[in-house]
Structure 1
Amino acid sequence: MFKSLYFRVILIYLSIVFISVLTGFLSALLLYGADGSIEMESELQEKAALIIDLYERTQPDDLPEFMETAAQLSLLNIELFDAETGETVQFNRGEDTLLSKLDSTVTIPWYTGDNRYQLSVSNDLPEGSGMELTVLLCIILVTGSLLVLVATRYLVKPVKAVTSVANQISTGNFNVRLPEGRQDELGSLWTAINDMADDLGQLESERQEFVANVSHEFQSPLTSIKGFSTMLLNEKLSEEEKRRAAQIIRQESDRLSRLSDNLLKLAALDAGSHAFHPVTFDISEQIRRSVLAFEPQWINKRLQVEMNADKTLLTADEDLLIQVWTNLMSNAVKFTPPGGKISISIQTKREHVEVRFFDSGAPIPVEDRERIFDRFHKTDRTRNRKVDGNGLGLSIVKKIVGLHKGSITVCTTNNDGKSFVVRLPKS
């Protein structure tokens, strides 16, 4: 229970009250110590003796009237106890209050004639007690205030730490951390801030990497375009050389166009601005059309392409999924060596449809199987330098599959090629 900040604040408040009252009580003992009590009792005994002596000298007929008059004149509270009858009579006694409990009282025996009495004499708070009470209250107030200042510093210190870390995070320093180990609400807040700093640091690293990759992907074709356009200005070039330079400029321009289109698609998918229109259609027919669209490329590389699929109905966004099959088929054609094999199969499971794209190209290393879906990631930049692509295709695929509440994985069987497996819910 005491791990909660709420109960801790209550405990601190009650402790301050208790310590302040205890300090005031100890101060009262110092102000009204034993010496003061003895002096007060001696004074009361003298006054009680004077009252008895005055009665013995005057011998008034009415004892109660005498006692009442004496009590009023001396500003004392008198209590007379008759030992024979057991009766107690009070004189000049006001109402009992909290302060009346602080009154000093002296009781002495009194024998007059055949009567035996006990005379109790007490007084109200002495003169100046109001000032002393004021001092006492000031002591309690000062003690409480000092304790509140200390407790406030204790409570505010972790809040200041949070503020300091938040300010550093706002300036871009995502490596700063708050100490962990607290078990109260502040501990939960510190953990959340540390997690936020981790996430922001990761996002910043991804942003910087993204900017660097985009700059690189744009810079390479732009450099080629600039170089070959400069060559075209050379009048000594043959027609064949000019034609080759123009073809390269066109290829690099197409590469820039595809890169721009992919970036726009990713931006639209990230922002959720792409309208989602699910319809029921035959997914096998859609994949077959996507495969046939690459027929010139796989015929040129003498690839063996097979597709094993029956009619399979699926409820999904048709326009988005065709982008998935197009990107997967494009990758399969690009990374399958000449004379290799591409196989596409569709299986209907209990709750989902499984689409598998297999190619006999080089398998993907285990350490890269998760990162291949990151933007601009390429498993082997040196080997694939001449392979057209910008590393955005699989990112788009994963994003679209995720929008359909599905999954995509890559696996290798006996180090012979690789398979991209897409699982989509039936509805």
Structure 2
Amino acid sequence: MNKKSHSKLWLYFTGVIFATIFCVFILITLLWFVLYRLGVAGTDPRVRHFPLLVFALGSILLGSVIALFVGKRMIRPIQNFSNAFDEISKGNFSIKVPEDEPIMEIKEMAQRFNAMVYDLSHVETLRSDFVANVSHEFKTPIAAIEGYAMLLQNRSLSPEKQEHYIEKILDNSRRLSSLSGNILMLSKLENQEMILDKTEYRLDEQIRKCILMLENKWSAKNIDFDMDLPRQTYYGSAPLLEQVWTNLIDNGIKHSPAGSSIRISITDAPKELIVSISDDGTGMTDEVQKHIFEKFYQGDKAHKAEGNGLGLALTKRIIDLCKGTIKVESSPGKGSIFLVYLPKEYKK
């Protein structure tokens, strides 16, 4: 708040105080006049106006004291909030307003304001990181496509090299398509734009279908599947949960060594269904497990080129939307177990 605005606010507050005192003075004067006319008040001309003069002088003095001390004290929190709003509009989320106010309501307002600014600072940090990560993830495959396209301009290339470069361009194009699709779906999920179109379907068949969809990946690494998938119906969003199983199985394939196994099971608990997907991969440290469901986080840098760090974040958001939970149990060198808990729902 600039000095001019502060002066106007102080003058307004002072004017309100003096206007109130003036109204009180008029009322007392009228009351005194009525009492005088009725003969209740003193009739001595020398003293009959003395109380009014004393009250007038006292009112002016009291109004001045209130305006100078109380007025500024009351305006100070408003000034602090106004200055803070100006700083926030400039992108400064480190600003805080003083919380040591004697009036409890203003103190609580200051505490809530500071908490709001703190939350906004985290949102802004996440937004900045998201933009930076998206830019980086898009830049890498685009640069690769450009590089291989430039190499293809060499007319002396052998057919084998041409085919190799074309395959690299296609791989990076698929990576871009997957990245943009995941970002779009994650955005819709976070903004709650996805409609949960629930149907009753076979959960065990859905998981088998997801395994078949990824056959090219697991057959290339000679990975076996050990499945314990009894017949199980589930009432929920089939398209979204298909994305969950695809992401988790793909994640297991990516981190599993050649010739290993991936185990998948469904457990029918009293109030929920538990889907377990475990692998014999590289495993994760406790620190990696803390961040594994964050957007663009990739704990295993060795497989960075095979993903974009959005699959597990997308999985977590879908499961949250289905009112379920997901947990991971892992240790370095001993593989990982992902446990998905889905509450049982029934068709209405």
Report 1:30-49 matches (<5 A): none
- SS for the counterpart of 1:253 is helix
Match of residue 259 from structure 1: 179
Match of residue 77 from structure 2: 158
| Cα distance in 1 for residues equivalent to 2:110 and 2:47 | 55
- SS for the counterpart of 1:168 is helix
TM-score by length of 1: 0.69
Report 1:27-176 matches (<5 A): 97=40, 99-100=41-42, 124-127=43-46, 129-130=48-49, 132-149=50-67, 150-176=69-95
CA offsets 1:157-216 (integer angstroms, 9 cap, x no match): 112111211221122100111233557111211111111111111111111111111111
- SS for the counterpart of 2:207 is helix
Match of residue 309 from structure 2: 391
Report 1:199-348 matches (<5 A): 199-348=119-268
> What's the RMSD between the two structures over aligned residues?
2.3
Q: Percent identity?
A: 31
Larger fraction in strand: 1
Q: How many residues are aligned here?
A: 312
Gaps of 5+ in 1: 1-12, 22-93, 101-123
More displaced, 178-187 or 356-365? Answer: 178-187
CA offsets 1:21-43 (integer angstroms, 9 cap, x no match): 9xxxxxxxxxxxxxxxxxxxxxx
CA offsets 1:353-399 (integer angstroms, 9 cap, x no match): 11111011111211121311111110032x224x4111111111111
Greater radius of gyration (CA): 1
State the shift of 1:271 in Å: 2.2
- SS for the counterpart of 1:396 is helix
Match of residue 400 from structure 1: 318
TM-score by length of 2: 0.84
User: 1:152–1:222: structure 2 CA closer, same or farther, 3 Å change rule?
Assistant: same
State the shift of 1:415 in Å: 5.7
Match of residue 97 from structure 2: 178
Match of residue 426 from structure 1: 344
Which amino acid in the other structure matches residue 150 of structure 2? T
User: 1:148–1:195: structure 2 CA closer, same or farther, 3 Å change rule?
Assistant: same
Does the 8 A contact of 2:285 with 2:332 survive in 1?
no
Match of residue 417 from structure 1: 335
Gaps of 5+ in 2: 1-16, 26-36
- SS for the counterpart of 2:211 is helix
Larger fraction in helix: 2
| Cα distance in 1 for residues equivalent to 2:303 and 2:250 | 14
